[in-house]
Amino acid sequence: MKLAVIGAGWAGLAAALSLQDRGAHVTVFEAAPLPGGRARGVDDIHMGNIDNGQHLMLGAYTETIKLIESLHPGQNIDQRLVREPLHLESADGTFRLHAPRLPAPFNTLVALLFTKGLPTSDRVLALRMMVSCRLGGWQARPGETAARLLSRYQQSTLLSRKLWSPLCLAALNTPLDSSCAQLFLNVLRDSLDAHREASDLLIPRLDLTELWPAAASRALTMRYRHLVRKVQAKPTHVEIDGEVFDGCVVATPPYAAARILFDQAEVTASVMRASADMRTPEQESEISLFRMLGAFNYRAIATLTLELESDWRLPRSMMMLDENHSRGHVGQWVFNRIGHNKQITVVISDSSDFLKQDRARFVSDIASQVREQTARHPQCKAPMPDVRYQRLIVEKRATFDATPDLARPANRSPWPRITLAGDWTDTGYPAVLEGAVRSGRSAAAVLLRQLGSSSARE
Ligand SMILES: Cc1cc2nc3c(=O)[nH]c(=O)nc-3n(C[C@H](O)[C@H](O)[C@H](O)COP(=O)(O)OP(=O)(O)OC[C@H]3O[C@@H](n4cnc5c(N)ncnc54)[C@H](O)[C@@H]3O)c2cc1C
């Protein structure tokens, strides 16, 4: 069977490997000159291999971990990822939440109960919310935002600011007052209420392309620098820019999927032609997918990689930063770059509003934010050295806006020979790596199932 995958991000590569494992001949079309999509390595002239964006993974990313292991047989996963128990600590040391090595959910409950930097009343409130959510099956109310969920459980402003807001922004890249409570609860459920290791923090030791997309692409037939313009579904095959395949997985972002799957003029004509009750079910589902793809909004993430004049390490691999927008202190997380003792990265989530500012000022304010806050940490051995090189990478459409009531398409499309993959499909997760990998595997399985049944029919 001759199949194609469009897009070599984590979803597309996961789909392509699944299809190939089941005996298909797979060609991957990718517009860029390398694999990885929104999670890829970048070659910096001064700093060597850095990433387009600092990525954090969780022990709950089971499918991703399995995929990395399967591509590197005989190698311990610890050679590719640093694994640490859940530990959230502010750069100045005033806030700390640490999960002891206890069976779940006691590890996270103890972590909450002994959080440093929160009054006892707040720790009890946080604990009570976790227990109630667990008893309620981690169900939010329909259309509820994370902010409303927190107010329903009477979480204080301090608790929201110190704990829930940074966690929500890190997981959903959407602020509390507009983010989907159900997606937030799904992340809490699968990381804090699963097996003990699910809440572990995993930080890549290698750049994101080397982590596994490079090995995946060596095992596949890749067509780089091919921006697919048109996919046409026919009863017996699909045509990708005129080339014939038995079927394909479209694993591009939604805006690109809309462009290559639909002719805007045709969709408009078919909407105009028939009133809703006169449309065929096929027309109806095409229009519905077209609308869903167009309904996504996006949020930016900026990552600032700093190379310092001399070796310097944060007291922990990853620390939280306090924000003060009036001083340009807009970073939320700072990371040691593993294996590069002079390099750190700062993450600025939901960064669209800050990007209109002067870049040089933006960077120097963030460097001051890290320097000032770490200087107050009791275990910080020396002040942060001067910055030698810096690289600010802004991904303008880093994630979709994870609002309540956002309708996300399934892997199935209106055409049996085409399935959809990507972190934006209906994975139950926000836009995260594990969602991308799971959707890729699932889109591959759905495609094979549908092709099996369609060839049986022919
Ligand atoms: C800065 C940043 C930080 C992040 N941090 C985290 C984190 O800490 N933890 C986490 O879990 N997730 C994080 N994410 C989210 C994570 O990166 C994404 O969920 C994941 O990479 C999405 O993978 P994907 O395959 O669905 O999409 P993409 O990676 O977008 O892949 C789509 C691919 O399709 C290609 N393409 C598009 N149009 C065409 C076309 N017409 N023809 C051919 N190819 C095409 C693109 O070039 C791209 O390679 C972060 C994202 C960013 C940007």
> What secondary structure does DSSP assign to 323-370, as a single string?
-BGGGTB---EEEEPTT-TTEEEEEEES-GGGGGS-HHHHHHHHHHHH
Return phi, psi of residue 123, to 5°: -65, -40
136-159 b/e with 16+ CB inside 10 Å = b?
eebebeeebbbbbbbeebebeeeb
The closest alpha carbon to 440, from 7, 3, 131, 12, belongs to 12
Share of the chain above pLDDT 90, in %: 86
- Distance between CA 410 and CA 235 in Å, rounded? 21
Mutate to test the pocket of ligand 1, among 34, 55, 174, 400 (most ligand atoms within 8 A of CB): 55
Confidence grade of residue 351 (pLDDT, cut at 50, 70, 90):
confident
Distance (Å) of CA 328 to CA 38, 91, 368, 432: 26, 17, 9, 27
- Distance between CA 422 and CA 420 in Å, rounded? 7
Q: Which residues contact 242 (CB under 8 A, 6 or more apart)?
A: 230
Query: Using a 6 Å cutoff on CB, does residue 423 contact ligand 1?
Result: yes
Q: What is the CA(103)–ligand 1 centre distance, in A?
A: 34
Q: Which residues contact 249 (CB under 8 A, 6 or more apart)?
A: 3, 4, 5, 6, 12, 15, 16, 19, 418, 419, 420, 421, 440, 443, 444, 447
Residues 65/69/72/77 CA torsion (nearest 10 deg): 70
Mutate to test the pocket of ligand 1, among 433, 434, 439, 441 (most ligand atoms within 8 A of CB): 433
239-227-440 Cα angle (round to 5): 75
- Output the six-digit token pair for 352: 């669209």
Q: What is the CA(32)–ligand 1 centre distance, in A?
A: 12
Mean of per-residue pLDDT scores for the chain = 93
Residue type, 308: L
Query: Using a 6 Å cutoff on CB, does residue 210 contact ligand 1?
Result: no
For residues 145 and 404, the answer to whether their CB atoms sit within 8 Å is yes
- Distance between CA 453 and CA 432 in Å, rounded? 32
383: exposed, middle or buried (Cβ count in 10 Å: 0-12, 13-18, 19+): exposed
Query: How close are the terminal C-alpha atoms of the chain, in Å?
Result: 15
Query: Using a 6 Å cutoff on CB, does residue 256 contact ligand 1?
Result: yes
- Distance between CA 129 and CA 315 in Å, rounded? 30
The closest alpha carbon to 173, from 284, 32, 297, belongs to 297
Query: Using a 6 Å cutoff on CB, does residue 331 contact ligand 1?
Result: no
Confidence grade of residue 272 (pLDDT, cut at 50, 70, 90):
low
Q: How many CB atoms lie within 10 A of CB 309?
A: 12
Q: What is the CA(249)–ligand 1 centre distance, in A?
A: 15
Q: Of all protein residues, whose CA lies closest to atom 31 belonging to ligand 1?
A: 9
Q: Of all protein residues, whose CA lies closest to atom 10 belonging to ligand 1?
A: 432
- Distance between CA 284 and CA 273 in Å, rounded? 12
Q: Does the pLDDT value for residue 457 go beyond 60?
A: no
Query: Using a 6 Å cutoff on CB, does residue 55 contact ligand 1?
Result: yes
For residues 4 and 12, the answer to whether their CB atoms sit within 8 Å is no
Rg (C-alpha) for the chain, rounded Å, is 23
Mutate to test the pocket of ligand 1, among 38, 207, 335, 349 (most ligand atoms within 8 A of CB): 38
Q: What is the CA(33)–ligand 1 centre distance, in A?
A: 14
Q: Which atom of ligand 1 is nearest to the CA of 435?
A: 19
- Distance between CA 326 and CA 135 in Å, rounded? 41
Query: Which residue ranges form the domains of the chain, and what is each CATH number?
Result: 2-39+210-297+407-457 (3.50.50.60), 94-196 (no CATH), 298-400 (3.90.660.10)
pLDDT in tens, 92-150: 999 999 999 888 888 888 999 999 999 999 999 999 999 999 999 999 999 999 999 99
Helices (H), strands (E): how many in the chain?
15, 20
- H-assigned helices in 37-164: 62-71, 106-113, 120-135, 146-152, 157-159
Return the pLDDT at 454.
55
Share of the chain above pLDDT 70, in %: 96
Sheet holding 81-84, edge to edge: 57-58, 201-204, 81-84
pLDDT in tens, 192-214: 888 889 999 999 999 999 999 99
**Which of the residue ranges 208-212, 280-284, 354-358 has the most confident prediction, judged by mean pLDDT?**
208-212
Residue type, 321: L
Q: What is the CA(387)–ligand 1 centre distance, in A?
A: 29
- Distance between CA 184 and CA 174 in Å, rounded? 10
- Distance between CA 338 and CA 458 in Å, rounded? 54
Q: What is the CA(130)–ligand 1 centre distance, in A?
A: 31
Q: Does the pLDDT value for residue 435 go beyond 90?
A: yes
Confidence grade of residue 381 (pLDDT, cut at 50, 70, 90):
confident
Q: Of all protein residues, whose CA lies closest to atom 14 belonging to ligand 1?
A: 432
Residue type, 59: G
- Over residues 307-325, the mean pLDDT reads 96
Query: Using a 6 Å cutoff on CB, does residue 213 contact ligand 1?
Result: no
- Distance between CA 436 and CA 329 in Å, rounded? 31
Q: Does the pLDDT value for residue 75 go beyond 50?
A: yes
Q: Which atom of ligand 1 is nearest to the CA of 170?
A: 8
Return the pLDDT at 280.
82
Query: Using a 6 Å cutoff on CB, does residue 14 contact ligand 1?
Result: no
Tell which phi-psi region holds residue 334, choosing left (phi > 0), alpha (psi between -120 and 50) or beta: beta
